[in-house]
Amino acid sequence: QVQLVESGGGLVQAGGSLRLSCAVSGRTFSSRAMGWFRQAPGNEREFVAVISWSGSTTNYADSLKGRFTVSRDNAKSTVFLQMNNLKPEDTAVYYCAAGRGRFPLNYDGDQGYDYWGQGTQVTVSS
């Protein structure tokens, strides 16, 4: 069983930064890709970023490239999402997810992941 707990969300002004963390329990963390998704009110959950099991490969939603950075610390079973120059449209609940393997082919969809955290709220004020 894999459990994921996100933290680091909160209220920030536009232009500010936040760093989200996702602590993962379970022995398979270092062999799985990890993803970040978000869901704004009234919207479907959308892909944000993914990082491979080793951390050597990352991918981002096109609209977020250059502002968001995903990283991981396998020794601490934790994945991070650094978010800079935040905008009001980034307001959402952010979820981390454990991938089906080292780098799922469908990394930008829910089907690429089999464990999810409860989410952390990020609110960006204008």
Say if residue 6's pLDDT is above 90.
yes
The residue-averaged pLDDT of 94-100 equals: 97
For 74, phi then psi, to 5°, come to -70, -30
Note the pLDDT of residue 27: 81
Q: Is pLDDT larger for residue 32 or for residue 27? A: 32
| Structure-token pair, residue 120 | 């952390």
Determine the Cα–Cα distance for residues 89 and 103; give it in Å rounded to an integer. Answer: 28
| Structure-token pair, residue 5 | 């707990």
Say if residue 99's pLDDT is above 90.
yes
Determine the Cα–Cα distance for residues 88 and 53; give it in Å rounded to an integer. Answer: 31
pLDDT band at residue 26 under the 50/70/90 scheme? confident
Do β-strands 113-116 and 120-125 pair in parallel, antiparallel, or remain unpaired?
A: unpaired
Listed in sequence order, the residues at least 6 apart from 5 whose beta carbon sits closer than 8 Å to its beta carbon are 22, 23, 24, 117, 118
